[in-house]
């Protein structure tokens, strides 16, 4: 599925997998050895809710972008591989987007930018 992030320096397009079922959300990007630079995974939540992610069995660093229901990115965290420390959303969110670790900084994506995808 296509997803676009609109930032101060332009629009950035990604192809994302959707983690919709509880099983898909529990597994996420576990056991992957790499993530292509313009690919990711989105975890949608309806209704919006507070969530926490961790990196159990995740072998590569990931950027976690926490997104409000209006598409605003409220928080970006680069999570460390294999960490069991929870990464909380901090507020109710409509989705979490996982990208290759450091990709947000490479592209200049920051909190306050906007994500658009077909919901």
Domain boundaries, the chain: 2-109
Please list the ranges in the chain whose pLDDT falls under 70. 119
pTM of the model: 0.96
- For 2-109, give the CATH class: mainly beta
Please tell me the predicted confidence (pLDDT) of residue 118: 80
Angle at 42 between CA 37 and CA 46, to 5 degrees: 165
Q: How far apart are CA 100 and CA 45, in angstroms?
A: 21
Please tell me the predicted confidence (pLDDT) of residue 6: 98
């Amino acid at each position: 599925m296509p997803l676009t992030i609109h930032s101060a320096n332009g629009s950035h397009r990604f192809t994302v997998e959707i983690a919709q079922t509880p099983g898909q959300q529990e597994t996420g990007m576990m056991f992957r050895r790499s993530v292509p630079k313009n690919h990711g995974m989105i975890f949608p939540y309806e209704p919006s809710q507070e969530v926490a992610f961790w990196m159990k069995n995740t072998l590569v660093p990931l950027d976690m972008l926490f997104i409000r229901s209006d598409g605003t990115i409220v928080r970006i965290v680069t999570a460390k591989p294999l960490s069991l420390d929870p990464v909380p959303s901090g507020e109710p969110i409509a989705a979490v987007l996982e990208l290759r670790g450091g990709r947000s900084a490479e592209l200049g994506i920051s909190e306050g930018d906007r994500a658009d995808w077909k919901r």
